Amino acid sequence: MNQSTNMNIKTDIQEKLAYLPKNLQNLFNPNLAIFDTNVLQCKQQTDGFAFLPNSFVQTLLQQTGLNKTELGLTLLPLATSYAISPVSNFNVGAVVFDSKDNIYLGANFEFTDTHIGQTIHAEQSAIAHAWMRGATQLSLLVIKHPPCGHCRQFINEVRLTKNFKIVLSNSDTQVPKSLSYYLPNDFSGNNLGITQKILDDVYADYIYDNNKQIFNNDCKRMALNACKTSHAPYSDNKNGVALTFEDNSIITGRYAENAAFNPSLPALQVALNFRRMQGKNWQNIKKAIMVEKMAKLSQKDNTHQLLTSINPQIDLEYILIK
């Protein structure tokens, strides 16, 4: 990482920290976050504090005297600062805790020059962020307003702890409530005999390609791995993408299917969301690869359409496997 990039990241982090109370700003030292990974015990240099590991979360709880719910509410403005809303101009943030008390931030993500269904909701953003970082269960979701029906159904597809709760910042009482409170008499994979959930450890060894030489570089192999670890128990339309950016980093995304179909989250959105939550430029893509398993559905056209709306010069390399 060059010095200019370091300075840009530092400035961006400093701007985001302004959304926090002063006592928290002092603990979120941007200089330490960029130049001393030992302080947060994670690769935090370019992540803009969108991911807070358990070790740092415990420090925040001890130093501030806040409980988990209060900390989540305090971090909500920081999460909201990641929002990209050129259509609605309505910024939404989300904070999720996993079962190990790691924290993942998320925010709504809108795209222009494409259809409105490509949008990523804040709750989806935080959950996808947690998924790509290896979370296995979620225990707490903090948001400002009640989740929309789309997000309630999306959350219902995720592996949650038995005591998972949702807390609203705009509620007078801010009492944690269960998902069943917001989604009674739910429809889920259980109705279809499917027990697999998003966040489960899934690796489809049965997916292969007859020509192994096709996967002859890291980007292609990473896209294949994203495909194999995607969540598509209803259609078997497993797919994943790998994006190479101008800084030569490679970000992957995998498909997150939903029992109700429409609340599913495409692989490209998962990748773009992860890049954005790293605090990096998500538009300077120079190469895109998609690997998709043959099925009755295909995500190819929607993926290509969103990709070209970001940059018409980007070619999508598409690999269909059996």
- Whether 183 and 124 map to the same domain: the answer is yes
Looking up residue 242, the CATH number of its domain turns out to be: 3.40.140.10
pLDDT of residue 7 exceeding 90? no
How many domains, in total, are found in the chain?
2
State residue 17's pLDDT score: 80
Asked if 118 and 48 sit in the same domain, the reply is: yes
Are residues 182 and 229 both part of a single domain? no
- Which range marks the domain in which residue 258 is found? 212-321
Tokens of 92: 């939404």
Catalytic residue among 110, 123, 157, 257: 123
Tens of pLDDT along 156-170?
Answer: 999 999 999 999 998
Domain's final residue, options 192, 226, 246: 192
235 shares a domain with 182? no
Contacts of 154 (CB under 8 A, 6+ apart): 121, 123, 124, 127, 258, 263, 265
pTM of structure: 0.91
Residues 184 and 49 in one domain: yes
Same-domain check for residues 54 and 188: yes
Last residue of a domain, one of 192, 223, 245: 192
Mean pLDDT, the chain, rounded, equals 89
My answer on whether 82 and 155 are in the same domain is yes
Q: What is the pLDDT of residues 43-93, one digit of tens each?
A: 343 456 899 999 999 999 999 999 999 999 999 999 999 999 999 999 999
251 and 142 share one domain: no
What does the pLDDT look like over 262-276, one tens digit per residue? 999 999 999 999 999
Do the Cβ atoms of 302 and 114 come closer than 8 Å?
no
Q: Is residue 88 part of a domain?
A: yes
Residue 6 predicted with pLDDT over 60: no
Give pLDDT tens digits for 241-265.
999 999 999 999 999 999 999 999 9
pLDDT, position 281: 92
Residue 197 within any structural domain of the chain: no
User: What pLDDT is attached to residue 107?
Assistant: 97
Residues 188 and 242 in one domain: no
Residues 50 and 186 in one domain: yes
pLDDT beyond 90 at 185: yes
3-class SS at 223?
helix
Residue 200 lies in a domain: no
Please confirm, yes or no, whether 123 is among the known catalytic residues: yes
Strands 138-143 and 93-98: antiparallel
